[in-house]
Structure formats: structure tokens, C-alpha cells
Amino acid sequence: MKTFIKTRLPFILPVFLIPEVIAEYFRYIRYSGMTGGTSRNKLLGRIIASYHVVEKGLTMPETRLGFGVPLVRSLVKQCTLFQQKYGNSDDQWRQAVAVLKEYIQFHDERNHSIEPEIISSIRNLAEITPAPAAEQIKYSSVNYFAHIADPFESFSASRKSVRNYSSKEVPVELLREAVALATSSPSSCNRQGSRVHVISDTKTMQSTLAIQAGNRGFGHLANKLLIVTGELGATHNVFERHMPYVDGGMFAMNLLYALHRKGIAACPLNCYLAGAKLAQIRQLCAIPDSESPIVMISCGYPPDDFLVARSSRMPADDVITVHQPE
């Protein structure tokens, strides 16, 4: 009987998990921005995501004039609606308007005309806030790594996502050293389920990046592609189904810091892909079925001069909730 229970229990447990999964699904539907809505959190989330895409466009190695017009038009509408409902005091809203100002300024300096309607709408927003046009951050290959030996506060603040790489080869051995540093990341019960696949073949790398599709404009310059995965064999029951992503997320951040410490520029790329695309990536990169892809990291040595997105951060008071004793 004990043997029967042990062998059948994994298939019986999901039946008991169904109510939890259903509740989790409906909670996501209710509170996420997937179904739209104009609550402060949902609207601000869309604004931040949209203005960051514009920021990234402004930092591309070869920014295409007139890029992202539909997105900019949508962002203007989002910002206008947010201002009408919630005012103009939010720092992230102000940053979005500053980026829109920079977008116009960028095209004015290059004598490229933008739709008058867009210019007029942005200027209307600009009148509401005194914030100047944003300015993406300029770096040289030397000053970008100026703080890699500094105390953690300066070191961690100096790491930025880089979307421009030179043709200089990144040695696999140096990546191995970075991975060794990253293994100090904590994991549930020290199970260490995170894995890293280093893709160095140019054809495989470009095919994989084409499927990921969030690297247009810079992915072709990457010298190496790292894929962080979570080994499902390290999990023990259905209630640990999120564990590979939690542990893998911590590992990935450690790896990004380690790459920065080793003088390698990098940019994390999401793996939010449908099953068919993930299957293609598994096949291309020889990722076992027992591993769940968590995040990709494009990397390389930076060129002599480059730009990175400013990526304005929320103040700590917007992030932390201190629960006082009763």
C-alpha cells in the first residue's frame, strides 16, 4: 500500500491543487494589467514599460529616425489619462514626460519631422510639468567600469543594462569565473537548481535571439548569449512550482553583478515565450526538458563610447511598507 501511495501521490496531488491554481489565476486576472483597467498601479505600469521602450530606442547603436511612433502616440494618451485621474506629482509620470520631450528634441536636432498631433500633445503635457527633457547616460568603455572595485553601494548602482557591444571576443573562461561567483546566490534548502547555458556559436545565438525578439537593434552585436535555467529535478512537490524562478531570479542578478565585476557588459532579456517558441529554443540550444528557461543575458565588451537608458528608479518610500507593532 505504501508503495502504491508513493508512486501515485504525485498524480493525485494536482487534483488538490486545482482550487489554489484557479484562485491564483483569477487573482492575476483581477490585479494585473493583462485585462486593461485604469487603476493607478496598472496605468503607471504601462506608462513605465512604454517610456522605457522609447528610452531604449534612443540608446540604440543606430537609432532609426521616426522609430516607435505608434508607441509614442499610445504613451502620450496614457500620460494624459494618468494626469487627469491622478495628477502630475508622480516621479515616474514626470520621467515619462521628460522622455517624450527628449524624443522630440532628438528628432528636432536631426531635422526629422514628427506628426504635428504628437508634438502638440507632448507640448501640452510639458506645460503641466517643469521637468526638462530627459537625457540618456553617456559612457566610455573606461568610465562604465570605474566603480567595479568600490563598496557595494557604488558598485551596484554602477551596473546598467548595456545594449551595444564591440567585436572583441569574450573568453569563455572569464564567463566561467563569473558563473562561479554567481553560485554564492541563495537557493531553497541549498538545492542549487540554477543552470547556465553559454551560447557562443553565432548562428545559434542569432537564431535564438530572433525567437526572443526583445533585442532588435542590438542583439546582432552580442558576443555571447547566456541562458539561465532552473532544474525541475531540484523541486520536490507541486507547491514548489515557482521555486526555479525565484531561485533562478536571484542567481541571475548575482550573475549580472559578477559579469560587471569581470568587466563584461550585459543586458537581461526576458523568456516570456509561448510553448512553441520555448520548444524551438530548447532544440536550438540543447536545453534539457527538465530545465525551465528563466532569463537570457546578452553580453560582450562595450565599444569606446555608448549610451545606456537612464531607467529612472522609484524612491524607496514608494517601494517599502514598514509594518509597525500594534
Give the max Cα distance, the chain: 80
Give the count of alpha carbons within 13 A of 284, CB side only. Answer: 24
Q: What is the pLDDT of residue 74?
A: 96
pLDDT of residue 1: 56
Distance CA 114, CA 112 (A): 7
Phi and psi dihedrals of 134, rounded to 5? -70, 165
In this predicted structure, the answer to whether residue 238 has a pLDDT above a threshold of 90 is no
pTM (2 d.p.): 0.92
pLDDT at 237: 83
Q: Which amino acid is at 61?
A: P
Asked if residue 85 lies in contact with residue 38, where contact means CB atoms within 8 angstroms, the answer is yes
Instruction: Report pLDDT for 140.
Output: 97
Half-sphere exposure of 45 (CA within 13 A, CB side): 12
Write out pLDDT tens, residues 279-318. Answer: 999 999 999 999 999 999 999 999 999 999 999 999 999 9
**What backbone phi and psi angles, to 5 degrees, belong to 198?**
-100, 115
Residue 73 pLDDT exceeds 70: yes
DSSP SS3 for 69: helix
- Tell me how crowded residue 303 is: count the other CB atoms within 10 A of its CB: 18
Burial class (CB in 10 A: 0-12, 13-18, 19+), 315: exposed
For residue 258, pLDDT over 90 is answered with yes
Dig out the grid coordinates for 200 from the structure. Answer: 557562443
